[in-house]
Chain A
């Protein structure tokens, strides 16, 4: 880091002789300073979070070693001239660390980088949790990759996404960028609880995306019984345009219009069909609807 700040000074006004001289003086001073520190403290160029590392020291006597990282500080009493072992479980956070060695009134320091470990945790956002069938590009999956200590894994990593209903579906592998991988997908034509899985190596996270029937299609009813008490009408199995049965509990409204007025029954689909009993009438017209979808019309006369 010291070197890089020196570079910035050199790169400024090239036509200024005094400035250039001053910059060279700073760079040479810094290099001497680094060499002097390097003699006391040796850190690896890079380390990995969750893995052990060794910090070397030079000189004689005793001192204190401080490792200062993002949100974490490690402190050790050290005998100078020996190597200091830092355990993997101690080195938890990825990022820029500074090693500081204090001995008497002197201190020396060096910066080093700790990289994230291999992906061991996935945070998987699957949207939406419920979606009608046969809709293009409506399902999105977004995965953040973290190592054991919740450091975002920035190295490109292959993430496998699979979306399946009853064993059949699609699978796609995406390479993560800056710790994030995502896909978007269309909903299947068949309703059911789709298993949406994101996996990296042997780590996987599962979400459920409920793919549900769309609006009823070709709503059709018929008279199943007619006597003095009234008329019983029932629909054919109520399905959407992809052939999926609409869920039980869906409201189907039967409307009978006759000389006595209008009679309505908001029937619930049960076991795939809706059924209603309407009052008997000499001449009646019966219509059926579900939500904003209209079905057929029946005329019932004596």
Chain B
């Protein structure tokens, strides 16, 4: 009996493996350019990289590994932690032999949805439509020594044997430099800037409480990822707190509460933000673009860009943020773009960009 079962299960396993390989290897040829793009990303969504690669035209001159890494991410970037959720395609231009298809991809990530828009060239290859895929060139940083002087702060806290008069080291002094409540999309947005005035690093958070006309607290919220939480001495970060479905007209006051905590922190890496400029993207939206340059010697896996926009009186009128889905390799520029509300673009007089970073193997 047991021998019979062994044979049955072995045969079943072999059949399933064969079925799987047949499925991944055989993809129906695309009869339209849009169909080719849809099919390619459809297979990628199912992590069937071989199936997706079968829709890539030979003229692309890209190997399967590069193609897979382009879609799946590399170097521990945000893309490696994301899942392709939906694909919307639109033909921008088409003739008998080639077409241009815009693909709007939506990825789901731990930090929210991530959108990627690509204009893909599609060509007829042996009677079937296939996608020209321009593989991302993997940057090789030349061998070099990048000197890093480690700065770190050690903290001696009060011990259990200390008498009650022994004070603990105090929390860093932080100060809210500005606060601007505004209404947008049927909600209240409170934004401004906070500074670590102290000489030690601080973990900061900004809380806001809305008080109605009767003097009662009606809502309480804190800045979550619309701020830099770890601030080095004299570092200034924007903050933004969103209260959906609230109106300023119903409020009497807003109570702000900055909190700070002394934390051990590293002063590295330094990320330069180069060539910042406000311009229109392919869809005609106003964006702030630039390049991030990791000046340290270690990879920054997930960069997070925070942009503060000021009017001509220096008031903070908008705070925007965005994650970059590519890791920052040492000494290698990486482009970024964050949204700016179109209705505010004309009022923006200046802006400031700061960068948070999350790294896997940094001490």
Contacts and interface: CB of A to CB of B under 8 A. Distances in A.
Interface of A: 121-130, 144, 205, 207, 212-213, 215-216, 246-252, 260-268, 270-271, 276-279, 290-292
A291 B165 contact: no
A129 B153 contact: no
B251 to A, nearest CB: 29
Contacts of A262: 275-277, 351
A128 B234 CA distance: 19
B295 interface: yes
A291 B234 contact: yes
Q: Looking at A144, A262, A279, A292, which has the most chain B CB atoms within 10 Å of its CB?
A: A262
Given A126-B167, A264-B272, A266-B354, A249 B198 contact: no
Given A250-B232, A251-B236, A291-B236, 19 more contacts: A123-B165, A130-B170, A205-B163, A207-B167, A215-B197, A215-B234, A246-B233, A247-B233, A249-B232, A262-B351, A263-B273, A263-B275, A267-B270, A268-B232, A270-B151, A270-B267, A277-B272, A279-B275, A290-B234
A250 B267 CA distance: 9
A268 B165 CA distance: 35
Contacts of A205: 163, 165
B272 A250 contact: no
Q: Interface size bucket, B side?
A: 35 or more
B233 A125 contact: no
15 contacts: A129-B170, A144-B165, A205-B165, A249-B201, A250-B232, A251-B233, A251-B236, A261-B275, A261-B290, A264-B276, A265-B295, A268-B232, A277-B295, A278-B272, A291-B195
B274 interface: yes
B194 to A, nearest CB: 11
B160 interface: no
B18 interface: no
B168 A265 contact: no
Given A265-B272, A266-B235, A290-B234, A125 B167 contact: yes
B315 to A, nearest CB: 15
Interface of B: 149, 151, 153, 163-170, 177, 195, 197-201, 232-236, 267-268, 270-277, 290, 295, 351-354
B149 A213 contact: no
Contacts of B200: 130, 247
Nearest to B173: A130
B199 A247 contact: yes
B355 to A, nearest CB: 8
Given A250-B234, A266-B235, A291-B234, A260 B275 contact: yes
Contacts of B270: 265-268, 276
Nearest to B193: A292
Contacts of A265: 270, 272-273, 295
Contacts of A246: 199, 233-234
Interface of B is mostly: loop
A130 B199 contact: yes
B171 to A, nearest CB: 10
B295 A268 contact: no
Contact of B273 (A216, A264, A268): A264
Contact of A130 (B163, B165, B198, B271): B198
A128 B195 CA distance: 20
A180 to B, nearest CB: 12
Given A129-B168, A263-B274, A264-B352, A249 B295 contact: no
A279 B274 contact: yes
Nearest to B333: A279
A261 B288 CA distance: 10
Given A123-B164, A264-B272, A279-B275, A292 B233 contact: no
B235 A261 contact: no
Contacts of A126: 167
Contacts of B235: 251, 266, 291
A230 to B, nearest CB: 9
Nearest to B177: A292
Contacts of A279: 274-275
B109 to A, nearest CB: 26
A78 to B, nearest CB: 39
Contacts of A247: 199-200, 233
Contacts of B354: 266
Task: List the 9 shortest-distance A-B pairs measured between CB atoms, nearest first.
Answer: A261-B277, A291-B234, A123-B165, A251-B235, A212-B199, A268-B267, A250-B233, A263-B274, A265-B272
A226 B6 CA distance: 75
